[in-house]
């Protein structure tokens, strides 16, 4: 074999061939990620005001008047109050009724009665009861029977105001805390 010859010049472009048969469709590609949100649009023009609504109020006829109620019992017209005579939280238990200070008899006077009395004069409870004696004026209360829930000593009596069988040597005493 002889020596290799020099490269020849490029030939002319040939005629275009007939297109081939199309290939089969490929499988779909992977879905891309969502794009960034777009800018907010401009605010639109204000709309026309709506038509005024209609308010319809229908009231019923007035009902018949009810029957008149029965008459209540008369209210307490006399002023009432309480104090510890002797000052402070210990002394003779006294009450104010019909514009007059008076005492409480110690018959049936117990720690429950005394606790109701102590609450009336601003204390929490009674710690002791005793016979104080030496009062003057009316003996307003006797034979008290408090349950301990009363708001006033005047709600505990069973005899009535001023009804008693006592003398002032039997005046009730109390120690409150």
Residue with tokens 């409480």: 104
Query: What's the rounded Cα separation, in Å, for the pair 170 and 177?
Result: 23
- Residue spans of the domains in the chain: they are 82-176
User: Which residue has tokens 């490269």?
Assistant: 7
Q: Are 161 and 126 in contact (CB under 8 A)?
A: no
Question: Which pTM value belongs to this model?
Answer: 0.55
CATH assignment, 82-176: 3.10.250.10
Could you read off the pLDDT of 84-113 as tens digits, one per residue? 998 789 999 999 999 999 999 999 999 999
The 10s digit of each residue's pLDDT in 28-44 is 888 888 888 878 878 88
């Amino acid at each position: 074999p002889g020596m290799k010859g020099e490269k020849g010049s490029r030939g002319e472009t040939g005629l275009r061939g007939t297109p081939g048969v199309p290939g089969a469709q490929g499988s779909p590609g992977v879905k891309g990620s969502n794009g960034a949100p777009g800018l907010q649009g401009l605010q639109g023009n204000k709309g026309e005001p709506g038509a005024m609504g209609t308010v319809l109020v229908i009231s019923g006829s007035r009902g018949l008047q009810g029957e008149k109620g029965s008459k209540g019992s008369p209210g307490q017209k006399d002023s009432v109050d309480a104090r510890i005579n002797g000052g402070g939280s210990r002394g003779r238990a006294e009450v104010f009724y019909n514009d007059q200070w008076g005492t409480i008899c110690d018959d049936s006077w117990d720690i429950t009665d005394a606790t109701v009395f102590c609450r009336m004069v601003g204390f929490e409870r009674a710690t002791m009861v005793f016979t104080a004696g030496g009062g003057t004026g009316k003996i307003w209360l006797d034979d008290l029977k408090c349950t301990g829930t009363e708001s006033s000593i005047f709600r505990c009596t069973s005899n009535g105001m001023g009804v008693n069988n006592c003398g002032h040597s039997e005046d009730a005493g109390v120690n409150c805390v």
